[in-house]
Amino acid sequence: MPSRRLSRIEQTADERRRAAVRTIQRLLRADGPDALVISHMPHVRYLTGFTGSNGWLLLRPGSALFMTDPRYREQASQEVRGMRTQVIFGRTFSTALQEMRLHEKIGTLGFEADHLSATIAANLKKLLRPLRVLPLSGLVEELRSVKLEDELHAIRKAIAISEAVYEDVVPLLRPGVTEIDIAAELTYRQRRLGADGDAFPPIVLFGKRSSLVHGQPTRAKLTRRSPVLIDFGCRVNGYGSDLTRTLHFGPAPRAFRSAYETVLAAQQAGCDAVQAGVPAAEIDALVRSHIAEAGLGDYFEHGLGHGIGLEMHETPLLSWRNTAPLEAGEVITIEPGVYLPGAFGIRIEDDLLVTLDGSITLSSLPRALRELA
C-alpha cells in the first residue's frame, strides 16, 4: 500500500473506528451473538471509513471483515484501513457468507433489525440454516451518539460553511425570487465552500407556506411583507449541520412578532437547560410549557430536536418519548417552532454540544427577529 501521511484528524478518526469496533467485539464476547452483520451504510462508514453506497461489515469477537462489490474495489482499498476487505462479485453478501460456511463456524448471527429489509433478513436466515439469526436494535446508534474529536471537527466545519452561505444568501431575498432559487443557492454555495453536499434538501418557504413544517420549496415568489423560513445544512466528511432561521421580508405584523418572541424565548430556555444527565423529555417539556403559556401550545407539534452526525435524525431524539438522559459529547439540535395554518410558521434551530456542565452552542447565526427592508 502506498505510504500516506495521515493528518492528526485522520489519525483520530482511525483510532475512533478501531475503538468502536473493539467495543462491539467486546459486547459480542460478553453476551451477544457469535457474530454481527452491520449493513446500515452510515454505520458501516462509522466503523470502517468506507464512503461508498454498498458494503457489509461482519464482526466477530476476534475479527472484522468488510465486504463490498467490485465497483468499490479501489475505493475500499484506499478508505478501509486495519481490517480485511473482500470484494464480492456476482452474488449477494448473504450468499458470500454461506460460501464462507459461516453457519458451520458459529451458532448465532445478529443483524440490524431496524435497517435490513425483511426480504434480505429472511434470505440470510434461509441460506445460513441452522444458524440462528437474531434481530438487534440500537447497538451502533448508541455508540455513535457521543462524538469524538474528528467528528466534532467535521460538524463545526459544516456549521461554519452553512452560516457563511446563509449570510450570503439572505441579500438575495428580493421580490420575485422563488423558494427554489434560494434553495438552489444554498446547495450550490455550500458545495462551493467545501461541503460534500446538502445534509438534506433545503427547506425554503415563503409567506403562508412557512406553516408547512417540512414543506418542499416551490416556484412560489417572494412578495413584500412575508415570512421566510429557511431550514438547511451541509455535510463535511459525512457529518452534518442543521440550522433554521425564520425572518420577515418587510416589517413583521404584531402577531408574527409576538409568536417569534415566544419561540425565541422558548428556544433559549431549551438551550439553557441542556446538560449531560438531564433527560431529553424534561427539556422538551420545559420548552413546550413556555410555548403553551403563550397560548400557542397547539401549534408546536413536533419533537424539540435530534442528534446530528452521519445521519440527520440520530440518537438522541429530544422528545416527550425519550426519557434517557443526555450524554456529554452528544451533538443535538434545539428547534422549537409554531405553525399557524394559513398564516405563518416560525422555527429557530441551533446545534449544541452537550457537556458535563451545560452545553456549547456550535452555531452562531443571530437569533433576534430580522426584518429585511
Using the contact rule CB under 5 A, the part of the chain among 53-61, 143-151, 178-186, 346-354 near Zn ion is: 346-354
Binding to Zn ion by residue 333, rule CB under 5 A? yes
Concatenated DSSP letters of 226-265: EEEEEEE-EEETTEE--EEEEEEESSPPHHHHHHHHHHHH
Q: How far is the CB of 204 from Zn ion (least distance, A)?
A: 12
Decide: residue 81, CB within 10 A, 0-12 exposed, 13-18 middle, 19+ buried: middle
| # binding residues, Zn ion (CB under 5 A) | 5
> Hunting for cell 432559487 — which residue is that?
181
Binding to Zn ion by residue 351, rule CB under 5 A? no
Tell me whether residue 81 or residue 370 sits nearer to Zn ion (CB atom). Answer: 370
Using the contact rule CB under 5 A, the part of the chain among 3-11, 153-161, 238-246, 351-359 near Zn ion is: 238-246
Q: How far is the CB of 54 from Zn ion (least distance, A)?
A: 28
Tell me whether residue 290 or residue 306 sits nearer to Zn ion (CB atom). Answer: 306
Concatenated DSSP letters of 98-165: HHTTHHHH-SEEEEETTTS-HHHHHHHHHHTTTSEEEEE-SHHHHHHHB--HHHHHHHHHHHHHHHHH
Using the contact rule CB under 5 A, the part of the chain among 28-36, 152-160, 243-251, 258-266 near Zn ion is: 243-251
Using the contact rule CB under 5 A, the part of the chain among 83-91, 101-109, 226-234, 277-285 near Zn ion is: 226-234
Q: How far is the CB of 125 from Zn ion (least distance, A)?
A: 36
Q: How far is the CB of 342 from Zn ion (least distance, A)?
A: 23
Q: Which helix (H) or strand (E) holds 189?
A: helix 179-192
Q: How far is the CB of 318 from Zn ion (least distance, A)?
A: 10
Site for Zn ion in 72-131 (CB under 5 A): none
How far apart are the C-alpha atoms of 261 and 257, rounded to whole Å?
6
Tell me whether residue 24 or residue 204 sits nearer to Zn ion (CB atom). Answer: 204
Using the contact rule CB under 5 A, the part of the chain among 61-69, 247-255, 325-333, 358-366 near Zn ion is: 325-333
Kindly list the distances between the CA atom of residue 282 and the CA atoms of 194, 236, 269, 270, 336, in Å, as whole numbers in the listed order: 37, 31, 12, 10, 14
How many CB atoms neighbour CB 322 within 10 A? 20
Tell me whether residue 203 or residue 259 sits nearer to Zn ion (CB atom). Answer: 203
Tell me whether residue 110 or residue 240 sits nearer to Zn ion (CB atom). Answer: 240
For residue 63, the Cα-to-chain-centroid distance in whole angstroms is: 29
Do 306 and 268 contact (CB within 8 A), yes or no? no
Do 318 and 117 contact (CB within 8 A), yes or no? no
State which of residues 231, 314, 330, 350 lies at the interface with Zn ion (CB under 5 A): 231
Tell me whether residue 150 or residue 242 sits nearer to Zn ion (CB atom). Answer: 242
Concatenated DSSP letters of 341-364: TTTEEEE-BEEEEEETTEEEE---
Three cell numbers at 64? Answer: 472484522
Site for Zn ion in 25-54 (CB under 5 A): none
Using the contact rule CB under 5 A, the part of the chain among 13-21, 24-32, 62-70, 236-244 near Zn ion is: 236-244
Tell me whether residue 314 or residue 349 sits nearer to Zn ion (CB atom). Answer: 349
Tell me whether residue 111 or residue 339 sits nearer to Zn ion (CB atom). Answer: 339
Residue burial 323-333, b: 16+ Cβ < 10 Å; e: rest: eeebeebbbbb
Tell me whether residue 262 or residue 333 sits nearer to Zn ion (CB atom). Answer: 333
Binding to Zn ion by residue 198, rule CB under 5 A? no
Looking at this protein, which amino acid is placed at residue 316?
Answer: P
Using the contact rule CB under 5 A, the part of the chain among 16-24, 141-149, 253-261, 331-339 near Zn ion is: 331-339
* Residues in contact with Zn ion by the rule CB under 5 A: 231, 242, 244, 333, 349
